[in-house]
Amino acid sequence: MPSSKIAGIGMYVPENVITNNDLKKYMDTSDEWIQERTGIKERRYAHRTDETTTTMGVEAAKIGIERAGITPQDIDFIVFATLSPDYYFPGCGVLVQRALKMKEIGALDVRNQCSGFVYALSVADQFIKSGMYKNILVIGSEKHSFGLDLTTRGRNVSVIFGDGAGAVVLQPTNETTTAGGKRGILSTHLHSDGESAEILAMYNPGTHANHWSTEKFADFNDAEMADMFMSHAMIENAQLFPNMDGPAVFKKAIVKFPEVILESLQVNGLSAADLNLLIPHQANLRIAQFVQQKLGLKDEQVYNNIQRYGNTTAASIPIALCEAWQEGKIKKNDLVCLAAFGSGFTWASALIRW
């Protein structure tokens, strides 16, 4: 059975840089507060109308496809991870298929928020290993800036997030290391715990309204039905923005990140000392530093760029992976671990022998 290798990788971030001081125009916050709690100095915001989650994903994909030495016509499956799709439906995968004039291939959207890219990579990995596909495009992209509460009311969430996209092309490989070991993705590990699903969530628009009942259903008029899905009250009460209990997320993240990284190492008979590079989802620099300390990793074993991009959710890992690779921090035979944690909660890791 072949393994999957990352044959090409690309990223795209919008030109528009928003510093912490820029956010002070909209809300009561400070550069000191944001840097001290999150490590973030600036983030990118997409152009309001010309850039969407899909267009950014397409730009990253073009680079990844070119670096893999193939064309969009060679891609035979798309997996697109995002929580900020262009449309409620259909997903972004088909929009990429259209934009890149690809063949009538399968396109799958993954809804796993911050762990979306690792979940998407894991799905693609299974299709490569089974022999079903030879060139899979995996994209993580987010346009958060469109849906954030930029008033003081939403500051605990809004200051964290930024826009951008990353993409990889996965291909089969039977190559081995000089010692005869496997190359490519060694294993992936996916987890969830829905117990606290609502503490990091955007509830609306959605079908959750607890006043739905089959008895009453027939009595609702059209306006009342529409109100349940989207209403002025939802706008006035900030119910169309993400909600987050930051401290609760932090507490869970610092447990689950190390757990899922160690799981990937143990399954492969390796330890933290063997890691050349850990690329944690860029949730918060303090979380990444905590994980680094817990695993006893040196600074050069962990890659962070949240300082420049904020948390780009499904895009954060492929953006960081791409930058690390471009900076020459990932070389052939290196052991690289991708690890993510986020809304759901869901968390995941992928261990790769480059």
Nearest to 72 by CA among 127, 120, 10, 136: 136
Reported as half-sphere exposure (CB side, CA atoms, 13 A), residue 64 has a value of: 36
Cβ proximity to ligand COA, 34 vs 350, nearer residue: 34
Cβ proximity to ligand COA, 59 vs 163, nearer residue: 163
| Nearest distance, CB of residue 33 and ligand COA, angstroms | 4
Using DSSP bridges, classify how beta strands 277-280 and 335-342 pair: parallel, antiparallel or unpaired: parallel
Long-range contacts made by residues 331-335, C-beta under 8 angstroms, separation at least 24?
331/276, 333/177, 333/178, 333/183, 334/276, 334/277, 335/270, 335/274, 335/275, 335/276, 335/277
337 labelled catalytic: no
Per-residue contact track with ligand COA, 234 to 273, x per CB under 6 A?
----------x-xx-xx--x--------------------
Whether 132 contacts 76, CB under 8 Å: no
Per-residue contact track with ligand COA, 92 to 121, x per CB under 6 A?
----------------------x-------
How many of the other CB atoms lie within 10 Å of CB of 169? 25
Binding segment toward ligand COA, per CB under 6 A, in 28-36, 183-191, 265-273, 326-334 = 28-36
Catalytic residue among 92, 284, 311, 322: 311
Tokens 């160690």 belong to 262
Catalytic residue among 92, 112, 114, 204: 114
Cβ proximity to ligand COA, 67 vs 144, nearer residue: 144
Nearest to 283 by CA among 309, 322, 245, 255: 309
Element (H, E) at 7: strand 3-12
Cβ proximity to ligand COA, 264 vs 346, nearer residue: 346
Binding flag, residue 283, ligand COA (CB under 6 A): yes
Structure token pair of residue 213: 């009942």
Binding flag, residue 204, ligand COA (CB under 6 A): no
Binding flag, residue 156, ligand COA (CB under 6 A): yes
Binding flag, residue 26, ligand COA (CB under 6 A): no
d(CA 249, CA 40): 17
208 labelled catalytic: no
Enumerate binding residues for ligand COA (CB under 6 A). Answer: 29, 33-34, 37-38, 114, 155-156, 159, 244, 246-247, 249-250, 253, 283-284, 287, 311, 342
